[in-house]
Structure 1
Amino acid sequence: MSEKPEVVNEWLARWREGRIGFHRDAPHPALRRYWPQFGIPSETKVLVPLCGKSLDMRWLAERGHPVLGIELSGDALDQFTAEGQGEVLRYHQDGFEVRRQGNIELWGGDFFHFHIEQAAEIGALYDRAALIALPEATRQRYAFHLAQLIPPGVRGLLISLTRAPGDDRGPPYSVDTDEVRRLFAHNFELTHLEDSEPEENGWQESVWAMVRQGPNM
């Protein structure tokens, strides 16, 4: 992510030191609940920005989707492939270090350097922890860049997070319903699917369906 060095260094240090409490040891329940309802064909390639080593990618791949994850931390991507099965192919492409395992491509590098020609085959989107990984000043840039990459008609799932009132720490950062709409409503049709029950620490997830709007919509 093109961001202040201290933010980048914090994320890289978290992966290097294993401070990854945000990582889930099972696919996200909202992904399992809502993705089948979207009717996205199994051969559709899914973009997963700032993917970490999310098991959600394996869940999608097991259902026939080619997956393209983008992640700045090489440690995260190495852990993902080490914990998986099958040969890992490595190559460089357009400034990214790419790892391919089965039908999952992992592009190691800056999401903001990933461009339209590289995204030509993208047909679906899944964001569980990308938006909330970014400080407020970068989230608008992220939403704009995502809109440039995604063709009209592409569907996706977004899982955001709010913290308890007054808890402004991060990452992950608090992104409330109003901000989600403010960031994406110009380019995406948004449907608010659910809010989770608040956790003991006051965190609460919100789940959104997204469809990229365009002249043919």
Structure 2
Amino acid sequence: MITNEFWLDRWKTGRIGFHQEGINPKLVEFWPALPKNSRVLVPLCGKSNDMMWLAEQGYEVTGVELSSLAVIQFLGDNDLTYDTHQEGDLKIHTVNGGLSLRIIEGDYFQFSEDNFDACYDRAAMVAMPDSKRAEYVAHTLKRLSPSACVLLISLQYDGDTQGPPFSIEEDSVPLLWGNHIQKIASENLAQTNLQYKEQGHSTFDESVWRIQP
């Protein structure tokens, strides 16, 4: 059962293979051109440096993360000073200085701000078991403006591996996100990365999807 405690334990014990150092090249390649100060939501952000890249493009970035360890590591690793205040069960960490960047610490399903201009999801939907996936997508879409852009990365793989990250059938992505979402790139990582072959995969497709009104 994938619970909040499961993820907190993963961070506590350092089992965070899902974390990527550096900036995701697919973010840099496929992020849509948006006006400066557009509000960008990054659900289940971990300590991803993709948030730094987005903030450096001039966007107002809001990451949401359950683990206090992940939040503290992100702020510390990037030498960021910040102010913190409590709003209900959520802690709001607002970075000082020139970057417009906030990390909301707490349960994403308790986060209720809306009208974001864009969403970046590299590791959030794939962290959701099938039983929570529709709820996650519905909750995320409620956070976005009607004309918002979405950049989503999904995985579909063969073999006996159980997630997270979970394998998501390609056909289910438009069913969850709506017909406006389009697949714009795909790569079989099992052909380029020995790690996936050693795990018994012949197919480990990483696909990039975008909603661009």
- If the length of structure 2 is used for normalisation, what is the TM-score? 0.88
- Per-residue deviation, 1:95: 2.3
Q: Letter of the 2:183 partner, please give it.
A: H
1:68-79 aligned at under 5 Å gives the runs: 68-79=62-73
Q: Letter of the 1:191 partner, please give it.
A: Q
Structure 1 equivalent of residue 6 of structure 2? 10
The answer to whether residue 27 in structure 2 is matched with residue 31 in structure 1 is yes
Q: How far, CA to CA, are the matches of 1:81 and 1:180 in structure 2?
A: 32
1:135 pairs, out of 129, 135, 153, with: 129
Secondary structure of the structure 2 residue equivalent to 1:39: coil
- Consecutive unaligned residues in structure 1, runs of 5 or more: 213-217
**How many pairs does the alignment contain?**
200
Q: Letter of the 2:5 partner, please give it.
A: N
Question: Does structure 1 conserve the Cα–Cα contact (< 8 Å) formed by 2:151 and 2:210?
Answer: yes
The answer to whether residue 47 in structure 2 is matched with residue 53 in structure 1 is yes
Question: Does structure 1 conserve the Cα–Cα contact (< 8 Å) formed by 2:114 and 2:142?
Answer: no
Runs of 4+ in 1 over 4 A off after TM superposition: none
- Per-residue deviation, 1:204: 2.2
What percentage of aligned pairs have identical amino acids?
36
Structure 2 equivalent of residue 64 of structure 1? 58
Structure 2 equivalent of residue 180 of structure 1? 173
1:105 pairs, out of 95, 102, 105, with: 102
1:161 pairs, out of 135, 147, 155, with: 155
The answer to whether residue 184 in structure 2 is matched with residue 193 in structure 1 is yes
Q: Letter of the 2:74 partner, please give it.
A: F
- Per-residue deviation, 1:99: 1.1
The answer to whether residue 114 in structure 2 is matched with residue 119 in structure 1 is yes
Query: Could you report, residue by residue, the CA deviation over 1:108-166 in whole angstroms, capped at 9, with x for unpaired residues?
Result: 11111111xx224x1111000000001100001011111222111111200011122x4
Secondary structure of the structure 2 residue equivalent to 1:24: coil
Q: Letter of the 1:197 partner, please give it.
A: N
- Per-residue deviation, 1:168: 4.7
Query: Could you report, residue by residue, the CA deviation over 1:166-207 in whole angstroms, capped at 9, with x for unpaired residues?
Result: 43501111112111122111xx61110111132242332110
- Per-residue deviation, 1:74: 0.9
Q: Letter of the 2:165 partner, please give it.
A: P
Q: Letter of the 2:3 partner, please give it.
A: V
